[in-house]
Structure 1
Amino acid sequence: MDIVKHNSSAWDGYVDKKNRWTIPVSKQDLEQAKKGNWNIVLTPKKPVPHHWFPKLKGLKILGLASGGGQQCPVLATLGAHVTVFDNSEKQLLQDKTLSDQFNLNIKTVQGDMKDLSVFENQTFDLIFNPCSVLFVDNVLPVWKECFRVLKPNGILMTGLINPLSFQLDEERMSLIYKQPFSDLHSLPPDKLEALKNNNEALVFGHSLSDQISGQLEAGFNLTHMYEDDWGGEQKLDAYFPAFIATRAVKPQL
């Protein structure tokens, strides 16, 4: 099946349903950002440390699979030149609406995050990629494309998910799926059909090797990381943090 097309439709549906990851920031949030009071996330709860960011004014930023009007309008308010790239037209519309309303000059581009060919080599200073690589079947091309479109000394910030999260039965907290997990290949046919019929986004539990070592193999140097969880919203929070945020840099050539 066409994963890109299916997940695009699913996320358009999540916007209609007002999923938590589709609700844009408020006017008050942007006003506070102008005063220096701001935080954005790569993972559900922990804000990205401000020292991870260089000076934002004038910085060329790519919000990769970062539609929804939650992070990129804040970065644009802080003076960055922001382009949002996302698979969902309606998620991009959330950013465009705020951009038009507050004159943020955010550019929006729809596409598959594995293919950034619309952008030239060495276009951006920073890529901000909140948890979204779980929606692509192969994460390695994402890292290669990020490396290509970043300038030397450019920064990649990304949110990752511990693949163990996908392998557990959340009710019994027992392992039931082998790694690598894939909705397409791991689930029983009836469960997969139910996801399709309900227009739910399909996910892939990439190995830590592909998620972290994959960045290194693409050429990045890892500089920082932290772990995060659902803030007590999920049972697995009692056992391990499901999320990892990483900061990596493209070396000076």
Structure 2
Amino acid sequence: MDTYVEHNARAWDSEVEKHTIWTDGCTEEQIEKARRGELDMVLSPFKQVPPSWVGGIKGKKVLALACGGGQQAVLLALAGAEVTLYDISEKQLAQDASYAERLHLEMEFVKGDMRDLSCFADSTFDMIYNPTSTCFIDEVHSMYQHCYRILKRGGRLLTSITNPVLYLFDEKKALRNHLQVKYTIPYSDLKSLGKKELEKRIRKHDTIEFSHTLQDLLGGLTDCGFHITGIYTDTAGCMMIDSYIHDCYLAVRAEKSL
């Protein structure tokens, strides 16, 4: 396993300890809705996933990919899916395990690198649910290839990608509503940051991130054989960035041919 992947595992463990929004589990209201088959959850940061994208999953096999934190995987299981959760962070997985125990859910938990899904057999899953996370790996093709392989015919991959243009800007200044172009893209924390800045990021347990290209993020899906059958966009939750770039995140539905 690459060193940066091991670091990101520890970084997400740290996020759990901080009780950040992406690690704090689902609400009681979401739980009750899911029991009625109403899935109130996200794929991109904020917008609710359309019911048509996640409908009809009762009794279906679903891989919740890089999906730890006691959120989407739990809701999918409550709605009747047979859920396998695959995540790099032990503490994120533990969040889901605690919900599963409390809510009497049967879920499978696997720790691993999302680029390598070789532990799963061909044509295993009806759906793969992958919230925004490809920004934490250095290449997406191996993940896409594995996803295509382990999906059944007619199965679908729901994923969310980060618009690479977001990585042009100085992150700290953007959070203070001041946009300043600082980097070129494709961006990589490992290559774009100076040595001291990267060391500080690692010391603070910040995640290591990568921007990729739209050719890789979208074209990579079709290169593997997927048909893109739906896209919607979402904001970043940062007023200045959102006022200039509406399509900060793209939620994508990709299907494997029958």
Query: TM-score, normalising length from structure 1?
Result: 0.96
Cα distance in 2 between the residues matched to 1:53 and 1:22: 22
Task: Show the 5 A alignment for 1:19-98.
Answer: 19-98=20-99
Change (3 A) 1:34 1:54: closer
Range that drifts further, 203-212 or 174-183? 174-183
What is the percentage of aligned positions where both structures have the same residue? 40
SS in 2 for 1:205: coil
Aligned pair count reads: 251
Shift, 1:43, TM fit? 0.9
Range that drifts further, 109-118 or 186-195? 186-195
Shift, 1:172, TM fit? 4.0
Cα distance in 1 between the residues matched to 2:56 and 2:164: 33
The aligned amino acid for 1:85 is Y
Structure 2: gaps (5+ residues): none
What is aligned with 1:114? 115
Two-structure CA RMSD over aligned residues (Å)? 1.3
What is aligned with 1:126? 127
What is aligned with 2:244? 239
Runs of 4+ in 1 over 3 A off after TM superposition: none
Task: Show the 5 A alignment for 1:1-253.
Answer: 2-169=3-170, 170=174, 172-231=178-237, 233-240=238-245, 241-252=247-258
Cα distance in 2 between the residues matched to 1:32 and 1:248: 26
Cα distance in 2 between the residues matched to 1:176 and 1:26: 38
Query: TM-score, normalising length from structure 2?
Result: 0.94
The aligned amino acid for 1:178 is T
Cα distance in 2 between the residues matched to 1:30 and 1:96: 15
* CA displacement, residues 157-193 of structure 1 (integer Å, 9 cap, x when unaligned): 0010000101112254232211110000001222111
Cα distance in 2 between the residues matched to 1:27 and 1:44: 20
Change (3 A) 1:36 1:124: closer
Shift, 1:234, TM fit? 4.2
SS in 2 for 1:158: strand
Cα distance in 2 between the residues matched to 1:97 and 1:65: 17
